[in-house]
Amino acid sequence: MAKVDIKKAWVRETKFGDWFLNTDTWLIHVLQRALNDLQTLIPADKPKEFDTILDIGSGFGHSLVELDARFSPDTIISLDVDPDLINKADVNAKKCKSNIQFLINNAAQIDLDDHSVDMVFCHQTFHHIVDQESAIKEIYRVLKPGGCLMFAESCRRYIHSMVIRVLFRHPMHVQKTDLEYLSLLEKTGFNIQEQQISRPFLWWSRADLGLWETLTGKAEDPRSREETLINAVLYKY
């Protein structure tokens, strides 16, 4: 398989974006909130702990600390396309009990064996990836049969909003709705169960930051609105 040009595989974040991803706001209101929701979506008959976790897009490594504490893995593979991954995430990696392995890699070509991880955590990373179809196939490939994908993603409506366009950088042509993400996941082979899907309509994901609803008390009808976020727990069978 030919190597993908890293410069074409991702869109580098803005300085504001890098700063924001290292704030308590990101940690508490975005990362921890998503993980709290995802944990409630795990079916009662499925494992709540995972031996080997692949974290797609580790960034500053806040997710490593959360995954270590919540799921008690033996190993977390910290994957990011950014060559500066180790320097960015090292402080948080050292807080973990798990064995942290750094992998500087494009998610569309993951340098891991087939069926080698028990869970993949992909939180607010997929909308940065240019070749999403190849990336989801790679995620499916490296998961063991019965393995779990925890997928938490911002949808097209949010990424295309003016405030996000101004402050952050993304490959705009690949952004998807919640239904388009689910279609991609199902086409890849993941088992889609509606009770394992959540569509939080959080204030920070709205173009007006929830101001209209606060002032008027009128909420958008979830039966007709275009969603801003999707969280899903999916399994490979």
pLDDT tens column, 113-123? 999 999 999 99
Range of the domain at 222: 7-38+48-236
For residue 2, being part of any structural domain is answered with no
CATH of the domain at 14: 3.40.50.150
Q: Look up residue 168 and give its DSSP letter.
A: -
Give the containing element (helix H, strand E) for 56: strand 52-56
**The two three-digit tokens of residue 99, written as one number:** 């064995």
For residue 152, being part of any structural domain is answered with yes
For residue 132, being part of any structural domain is answered with yes
For residue 43, being part of any structural domain is answered with no
For residue 30, being part of any structural domain is answered with yes
**The two three-digit tokens of residue 207, written as one number:** 């173009």
- Residue 121 CA, chain-centre distance (Å), reads 6
Res 1 pLDDT > 70? no
Rounded to whole angstroms, how far apart are CA atoms 139 and 17? 25
Res 149 pLDDT > 70? yes
C-alpha closest to that of 98 among 123, 120, 66: 66
Total structural domains in the chain? 1
Rounded to whole angstroms, how far apart are CA atoms 151 and 192? 12
User: How much is the pLDDT for 163?
Assistant: 86
For residue 31, being part of any structural domain is answered with yes
Inter-residue contact 75 to 52 (CB < 8 Å): yes
Rounded to whole angstroms, how far apart are CA atoms 237 and 140? 10
For residue 1, being part of any structural domain is answered with no
Q: How many other CB atoms sit within 10 Å of the CB of residue 162?
A: 8
Res 2 pLDDT > 50? no
pLDDT tens column, 195-232? 999 999 987 887 776 777 777 888 888 888 999 999 99
For residue 136, being part of any structural domain is answered with yes
pTM for this one?
A: 0.91
Q: What is the mean pLDDT of the chain?
A: 92
pLDDT tens column, 80-118? 999 898 999 999 999 999 999 999 999 999 999 999 999
